[in-house]
């Protein structure tokens, strides 16, 4: 091998190349010597290469460092240009030109409704996020404009959910003031916009502090749900003032009453109450309510007739729902009469009869009657004799137009009762289905019942004005019988009103048979012909 000589560094194009870079022939030669294991003919030249290589390698390192800095500069400049171009595109994008009103609507769609339900989760992390309106804070980070809209639009801050039972967790126990401050910030940002509140107040755990804070904004309450295990301080409850905007109030009270004796709410239309009857607000404006739901949860000491007495002073057009657990079978000596038009009973104990309750009622203006269990489970007993007496006493034959029944009743009893309701236009009937092998299952929707509803030419039909038939069923009937009923009812309607349409719905319990294809096609043709509205769905059991 030849001895290395001092050479000048050369550059190929824009790059650096050492003058001592070996040629392919030199590389092949050193490989042969290495494989042979013999001494090279001129070892001094190899030693010189080793010595010179140290200097050349440092020069390469220096060049690489320069190039790395240049590469970093190029990468940085590229990122800057890329980001700037993206910003330009953003400025020119349709999103940037969206009106503020549209962006507010989009922000409202980002509201996590499930997380703001009281029963959703009980973690301290969720509670902190709800109180601080975390989703709005994240939207505010997108841009200056989004920050202005998110933080400055009162309606976005008008949904408040607080669960003080979570505040007693170890992490939150040390910072109730932080949570209160976050709550007050949200309330302040709502400005004068009506408030939608969901509040669970555990009074021994900061509940009174939260309630006092919320009372400062009581003039903005619109839709309010309060769940409480006890009562707040008297001073807190009595400083509510006049609730000018309150439209919906839901109370679920525990051991003691929430003192609302001076409640003034001129716009209150919807009221829901669960708890002891003596905890009801004394000054509640019954005569202005449109809907009212009452549940006597865990209240065995109050006679079943007491809550029903409120319908005496109710608005005639109000819809009342009583979710009752029957604790006693006592007889009420004084008759309760009301002109209410819509009444629903949800009976939680299927083994007890409420016949004595209906024996005490007179409902001369009732148009809608619902009788059911709170869920899809066991159905309550049907007090046949008491209902018949109530129907005659209240003259249901002249004004009852809608009946919904989910009860343990025979087909014969139901058909007999329907014969007393010639004005009935809408009928909902529910089979009882708990599970496939449950002894609590009870079938009402059968061929016998459907045939009783069939309109036969030349014969006076049962419920001649029927326009809607809704059944929740285990499908224990023949498809052809169901179709015959629908077709006959369409014909009956057309005899009176050529533009009339019959409305039919089947709610099918899980794992039950489906309608045959032939039945589907027949019903489909009726729908396409404009004489039938038909819907079928599967019941979701709770």
Write the CA distances from 50 to 1, 3, 35, 64, integer angstroms. Answer: 14, 12, 19, 21
144 and 251 both lie in a single domain: yes
Domain boundary among 92, 127, 143: 92
Domain boundary among 265, 293, 314: 265
17 and 154 both lie in a single domain: no
515 and 444 both lie in a single domain: yes
63 and 102 both lie in a single domain: no
109 and 82 both lie in a single domain: no
Q: Residue written as tokens 């022939």?
A: 25
Domain boundary among 58, 92, 126: 92
Residues in the chain: 542
Which of 416 and 37 is assigned the larger pLDDT? 416
83 and 153 both lie in a single domain: no
Q: What is the pLDDT of residue 6?
A: 46
88 and 102 both lie in a single domain: no
pLDDT tens, residue by residue, 423-477:
999 999 998 876 666 656 788 999 999 999 998 888 888 999 999 999 999 999 9
pLDDT tens, residue by residue, 144-171:
889 999 999 999 999 999 988 777 655 5
User: How far is Cα 59 from Cα 40, in angstroms, rounded to an integer?
Assistant: 28
Judge whether 271 lies within some domain: no
Judge whether 413 lies within some domain: no
Angle at the Cα of 31 (from 25 to 33), degrees rounded to 5?
105
Domain count, the chain: 4
Residue 494, pLDDT above cutoff 80: no
357 and 477 both lie in a single domain: no
Judge whether 194 lies within some domain: yes
Q: What is the pLDDT of residue 235?
A: 45
Judge whether 203 lies within some domain: yes
Write the CA distances from 2 to 18, 27, 28, 127, 138, integer angstroms. Answer: 17, 13, 14, 82, 72
Judge whether 511 lies within some domain: yes
| Percent of the chain residues past pLDDT 70, beyond the cut | 84
Q: Residue 331 sits in which domain range? A: 285-405
Judge whether 443 lies within some domain: yes
Q: How many Cβ atoms sit within 10 Å of the Cβ of residue 86?
A: 10
204 and 351 both lie in a single domain: no
141 and 237 both lie in a single domain: yes
Specify whether the backbone of 463 is left (phi greater than 0), alpha (psi in -120 to 50) or beta: left
Closest alpha carbon to 258 in 287, 288, 227:
227
391 and 449 both lie in a single domain: no
pLDDT tens, residue by residue, 200-242:
887 666 788 888 899 899 999 999 998 887 655 544 555 677 8
């Amino acid at each position: 091998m030849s001895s290395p000589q001092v050479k000048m560094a050369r550059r190929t194009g824009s790059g650096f190349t050492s003058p001592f870079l070996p040629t392919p022939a030199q590389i092949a030669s050193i490989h042969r010597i290495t494989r042979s294991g013999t001494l090279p003919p001129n070892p001094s030249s190899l030693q010189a290469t080793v010595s010179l290589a140290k200097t050349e390698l440092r020069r390469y390192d220096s060049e690489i460092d320069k190039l790395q800095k240049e590469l970093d500069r190029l990468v940085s400049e590229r990122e800057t240009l890329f980001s700037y171009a993206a910003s330009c595109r953003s400025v020119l994008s349709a999103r940037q030109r969206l009106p503020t009103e549209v962006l507010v609507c989009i922000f409202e769609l980002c509201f996590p409704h499930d997380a703001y339900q009281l029963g959703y989760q009980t973690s301290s992390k969720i509670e902190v996020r709800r109180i601080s309106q975390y989703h709005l804070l994240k939207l505010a980070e997108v841009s200056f404009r989004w920050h202005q809209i998110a933080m400055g639009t009162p309606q976005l801050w008008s949904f408040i959910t607080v669960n003080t039972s979570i505040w007693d967790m170890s992490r939150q126990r040390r910072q109730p003031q932080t949570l209160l401050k976050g709550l007050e910030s949200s309330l302040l940002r709502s400005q004068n916009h009506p408030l939608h509140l969901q509040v669970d107040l555990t009074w021994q755990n900061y509940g009174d502090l939260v309630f006092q804070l919320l009372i400062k904004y009581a003039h903005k309450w619109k839709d309010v749900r309060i769940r409480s295990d006890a009562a707040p301080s008297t001073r807190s409850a009595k400083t509510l003032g006049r609730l000018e905007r309150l439209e919906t109030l839901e109370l679920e009270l525990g051991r003691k009453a929430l003192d609302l004796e001076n409640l003034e709410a001129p716009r209150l239309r919807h009221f829901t109450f669960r708890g002891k009857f003596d905890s009801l607000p004394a000054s509640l404006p019954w005569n202005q309510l449109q809907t009212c739901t009452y549940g006597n949860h865990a209240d065995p000491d109050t006679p079943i007739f007491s809550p029903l007495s409120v319908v005496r002073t109710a608005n005639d057009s109000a819809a009342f729902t009583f979710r009752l657990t029957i604790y006693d079978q006592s007889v009420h000596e004084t008759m309760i009469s009301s002109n209410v038009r819509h009444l629903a009973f949800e009976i939680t104990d299927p083994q007890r009869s409420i016949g004595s309750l209906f024996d005490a009622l007179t409902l001369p203006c009732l148009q809608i009657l619902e009788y059911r269990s709170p869920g899809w489970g066991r159905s309550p007993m049907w007090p046949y004799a008491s209902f018949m007496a109530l129907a005659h006493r209240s003259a249901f034959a002249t004004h009852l137009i809608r009946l919904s029944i989910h009860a343990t009743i025979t087909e014969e009893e139901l058909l007999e009762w329907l014969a007393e309701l010639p004005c009935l236009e809408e009928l909902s009937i529910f089979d009882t289905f708990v599970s496939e092998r449950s002894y609590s299952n009870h079938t009402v929707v059968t061929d016998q019942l459907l045939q009783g509803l069939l309109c036969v030419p030349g014969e006076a039909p049962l419920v001649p004005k029927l326009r809607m038939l809704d059944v929740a069923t285990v499908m224990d009937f023949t498809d052809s019988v169901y179709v015959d009923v629908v077709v006959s009812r369409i014909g009956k309607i057309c005899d009176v009103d050529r533009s009339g349409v019959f409305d039919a719905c089947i709610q099918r319990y899980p794992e039950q048979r489906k309608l045959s294809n032939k039945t589907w096609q027949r019903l489909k043709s009726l729908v396409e012909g404009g004489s039938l509205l038909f819907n079928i769905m599967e019941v979701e059991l709770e």
